[in-house]
Amino acid sequence: MRYFVQCWSSWVYYFESLSQIETRVEIASEYRYKVPILHKNMLVITLSQFGETADTLAVVEEFKKKKIPVIGLCNVEGSTLCREADATILLHAGPEIAVASTKTFTSQIVILYLLAIFMAKLKNMQSLDIPNMVIELETIPDKIGLILDEHRKIDILAQKYASFHDFYFLGRGVLYPLALEGALKLKEIAYVNAVGYAAGEMKHGPIALLDEKVPTIVLCANESLETKIISNLMESKARRAPIIVAGFKNLEKDFFQSVQMNTSFLTLMTIWLLYL
């Protein structure tokens, strides 16, 4: 089993699906007050932008007392987390100027993706095309350029919805944590209320607040889930909510606007979220 003890804004989906290792994600500020169930073959991976977050460091200290190995992902060399962890992976993302975590969030995703690929390789998992996955990672700069080519369309959408005060972000599977991240960024940067939900949970309460004053931003990149996403869109449409779809296919219909992503790499969806 692997634990990811995190602070700030990072959630882990790739690790378990790629490495097939049972993984739990915990919020450091909550986990430090729990009575954990520990196992002999555990590894703890902690994520911290500056490496000085009190809750994260307190959790690291407790795990070290119990002889549980800790890997720290951090953006500041020489930080307390770097010194206290058994091993450290530096993000090398450069300084974050604003409060919102942008470069470090994307770097954390890529590093965890690489770590998952490496562990999958060690387990000799034949079902994964690992060489192609690595090649795809190397194309990230070019694919970011393709996303930024959409800036005019995104600018128009941003101006259109700048006066709204409430937003929903929806996603399924790996895009659910990115919906949470998108909502967080909108709150931190634009100072408006934004909430991220798993798309399938909309009908269990949140949909009651949908109307023409609550835009819904939907992330859709998995073709196998496209039908279910369209169903969620229709439910929002029935309540007259403005809908924006970001996806890898042009899903533009007569009832919503879309931004098409010309890339197959799911983690790059974060770039669009941060830009919006």
Q: What is the pLDDT of residue 80?
A: 97
Maximum Cα interatomic distance, the chain, rounded to a whole number of Å = 59
Q: What is the pLDDT of residue 248?
A: 58
267 pLDDT more than 60: no
Q: What is the pLDDT of residue 6?
A: 60
Q: What is the DSSP string of 184-231?
A: HHHHHHH--EEEEEEGGGTTTTGGGG-STTS-EEEEE--GGGHHHHHH
How do residues 219-228 score in pLDDT, each as one tens digit? 877 666 777 8
Q: Could you give the dihedral angle defined by the CA atoms of residues 127, 108, 29 and 45, in that order, rounded to the nearest 10 degrees?
A: 50
Residue 123 binned pLDDT confidence (cut-offs 50, 70, 90): confident
Q: What is the pLDDT of residue 275?
A: 47
Cα separation, 229 vs 175, in Å, equals 12
- Are the C-beta atoms of residues 217 and 169 closer than 8 Å to each other? yes
Question: In this predicted model, which residue has the larger pLDDT, 251 or 217?
Answer: 217
The strand pair at 70-74 and 166-171 is best described as unpaired
Average pLDDT over residues 172-193: 87
190 pLDDT more than 60: yes
Residue 8 binned pLDDT confidence (cut-offs 50, 70, 90): very low
62 pLDDT more than 70: yes
pTM over 0.85: no
Backbone angles phi, psi at 10, to 5 degrees: -100, 135
Average pLDDT over residues 133-161: 81
175 pLDDT more than 60: yes
- Are the C-beta atoms of residues 100 and 83 closer than 8 Å to each other? no
Average pLDDT over residues 24-30: 87
144 pLDDT more than 80: no
Residue 134 binned pLDDT confidence (cut-offs 50, 70, 90): confident
Q: What is the pLDDT of residue 264?
A: 47
Q: What is the pLDDT of residue 85?
A: 95
